[in-house]
Structure 1
Amino acid sequence: MPGHLLHEGITIACPHGGNGRLTPSSTLLVGGRKVALAQDATTISGCAFTIGTAPSPCLRVEWQLPATKVTAGGKAVLLSDSLALCVNAAGAPQGTAQVSGFQTKVKAI
């Protein structure tokens, strides 16, 4: 299913109130902003999630379901329908991040 290309400056929020920051490594631009790639670092800060009484904040996003037919520099680009899985320090999944603020002119599959 086609989705809009994600780029630097999008808004990412973990399900527990944390904010994500995507750091694109691509040199390809869409709307004057770098396009996001599947392996780009996305960190989360301010997550308040706890398990019992032990803090277990979301720290990063593992991207799933990138584009299958569009690449930048030979690497898959991220789409608005890619899955942003929030994980803690141990790599355990803790929910799906909400992604918004992406451009709506360029779609890919």
Structure 2
Amino acid sequence: MPGQLMHLGATVMCAHSGPAQPTKTEPRVLVNGMPAVTAVAPYTVTGCTLLQPPGPCLTAQWVSTAMRVRIGGAPALLSDGRAQCTPTGTPLTVSATQTRVKGT
């Protein structure tokens, strides 16, 4: 199933409501005027509210990416992809992204 292409302006949060941002974008490819995001670099999570061990979410790596769309040789991230936070193992949730460009 196709998902929306992810970009820097997408709203992404950990399972404990901590906002997540990409550590690297692809500035040569713009989606809705913002740089696209690939699976090359992890996301950083700030403000995770989990206080119990194993502690708050710090980073997240996407484990499910676009199969057919590549940006700069790396798989593009899609809104329906899956990411896993470290050290908790919980997922990231994409709640808002651009709606014009889809990929598989």
Q: How does the TM-score come out when normalised to structure 1?
A: 0.84
Kindly report which structure 2 residues correspond to 1:59-74, keeping only aligned pairs within 5 A, or say none.
59-74=58-73
Which piece of structure 1 moves more, 20-29 or 78-87? 20-29
Deviation at 1:48? Answer: 2.2
How far apart in 2 are the matches of 1:19 and 1:25? 17
Q: Following TM superposition, by how much is the alpha carbon of 1:80 offset from its aligned partner in structure 2, in angstroms?
A: 0.8
Larger Rg computed on CA atoms = 1
Moved over 2 A (4+): none
Q: Would you say the 8 A contact 1:5–1:78 is kept in 2? A: yes
Please report the TM-score for the alignment, with normalisation by the length of structure 2: 0.88
Q: Unaligned regions of 5+ residues in structure 1, if any?
A: none
Query: Structure 2: which 5+ residue stretches go unaligned?
Result: none
Q: Report SS of the residue matched to 1:28.
A: strand
Equivalent of 1:106 in 93, 101, 104: 101
* Corresponding pairs, count: 103
| Equivalent-residue separation in structure 1 for 2:72 and 2:54 (angstroms) | 39
**In 2, Cα distance between the equivalents of 1:35 and 1:25?**
6
User: What is the alpha-carbon root mean square deviation over aligned residues?
Assistant: 1.6
- SS at 1:104 equivalent: coil
1:55: Cα distance to partner?
Answer: 6.0
